[in-house]
Structure 1
Amino acid sequence: MARAGLTTELVVRAGADLADEVGFDAVTPSTLARALGVRVASLYSHVAGADDLRQRIALLALDELADRASEALAGRAGREALEAFADAYRDYGREHPGRYAAMQTRLSPEAAASGPGGRHAELARAVLRGYGLGETEETHAVRLIGSVVRGFTVLELGGGFDHSPPPPDATWPRILDGVDAVLRSWAR
């Protein structure tokens, strides 16, 4: 029987909050139950176990970020859209490091294509419309953008740029200029 007051949404959101505090890898049903002040068995009315909890946190994070990126992209094209999209991802990672890590969880093919994972691909393709790439090249370009944004954000979150100047904020616009130049020349 489910504990009064607990819902699946509350459990998953609490798991996501805990991931931001202690790191995604440290979130287990046991640590979450302690944080919520309940017994582990109380969680199993809402999640099927550790893997289910992790998948649900990943889907929540993907959904939150898709909403944020969609809002950032509204009315923008070309370089401006690229910057809005990339900034939304980087900012989300800095504000929610545990959720950002959760988004790297391998999803089932169905969840990846039809859930928020599919929304992210469509948002990236919306950025690319301003560059005039043919459909056959879009997948390659989506992967380029994802690799650059994720790579930079993960390195920044892990302290990879702490050892030398300039600060990451000075490098970020230069990185986006480079991606923009590649995408503009790719279209030719």
Structure 2
Amino acid sequence: MTRAGVTPERLVRAGVELADEVGFDGVTVSALARRFDVKVPSLYSHVRNSQDLKTRITLYALEELADRSAAALAGRAGRDALIALGTVYRDYAHAHPGRYAAARMRLDPRTAATSAGPRHSQLMRAILLGYRLDSTDQVHAVRLIGSTFHGYISLELAGGFDHSDPGPQESWERIMDALDALLRNWPTRQPPEGPS
């Protein structure tokens, strides 16, 4: 029997907080049992195992990040929207590194389809409406934006830009300018030349 007050929602919330404290990889059912001062088996009526717990934390992080992104994008388009979205992702990663790592976890296709993951793609596509890209180029652009945001943020969180000038904020701003310029001047694909 679980201790009074332990619910699936409280477990996930505690898991989210633990992820930010010790890193997403350090989140286990055992670690949460210690936090709630209960025996590990008592939590298995709420979560199947550590993987189930991590999936729930991932779903929580994806939803939270999508909500923040949608709020930041409201009424914005083009460059302003691009910068707003990038800022939300970067600020979220710095404030909640464990949750940010959770949001990057690969979900099984069925779970992914019902998660907030597709909302992130829709938000990126909404930004691209201001850049007038066709649907195929939008796919490429979404991948470019995601790679740029997550690549930069991952390197920054790992300390890759410490002790160098200019500072990471200046580089981030220049990268956002460059990304905007690229999206405004998206290269057209020339059809392959056939034999003469």
Q: TM-score range by the shorter chain?
A: over 0.9
Structure number with greater Rg is 2
**Deviates most, 1-10 or 93-102:** 1-10
Distance 1:78 1:64, change over 3 A: same
Letter of the structure 2 residue corresponding to residue 94 of structure 1: H
Q: 1:84-126, CA deviations, whole angstroms, 9 ceiling, x for partnerless residues?
A: 0110000000000000111121101122223201111111111
Alignment of 1:1-188 (within 5 A): 1-186=1-186
Letter of the structure 2 residue corresponding to residue 146 of structure 1: G
Letter of the structure 2 residue corresponding to residue 186 of structure 1: W
Please, what TM-score do these two structures have when normalized by structure 1? Answer: 0.96
Conserved 8 A contact 1:29-1:49: yes
Conserved 8 A contact 1:30-1:40: yes
- Give me the whole-angstrom Cα distance separating, in 1, the residues matched to 2:17 and 2:72: 23
Q: 1:21-48, CA deviations, whole angstroms, 9 ceiling, x for partnerless residues?
A: 0111111111111122221112111111
- Give me the whole-angstrom Cα distance separating, in 1, the residues matched to 2:78 and 2:186: 13
Distance 1:80 1:187, change over 3 A: farther
Letter of the structure 1 residue corresponding to residue 73 of structure 2: L
- Give me the whole-angstrom Cα distance separating, in 2, the residues matched to 1:111 and 1:127: 25
After TM superposition, where is structure 1 displaced by more than 6 Å over at least 4 residues in a row? none
Unaligned runs of 5+ in 2: 189-196
Which secondary structure state, in structure 2, belongs to the residue aligned with residue 186 of structure 1?
A: coil
Aligned to 2:191: none
Q: Structure 1 vs Structure 2: percent identity of aligned residues?
A: 59
Conserved 8 A contact 1:132-1:187: no
The alignment yields a C-alpha RMSD, in angstroms, of: 1.2
- Give me the whole-angstrom Cα distance separating, in 1, the residues matched to 2:125 and 2:111: 19
- Give me the whole-angstrom Cα distance separating, in 2, the residues matched to 1:130 and 1:35: 47
The number of residues matched between the two structures is: 188
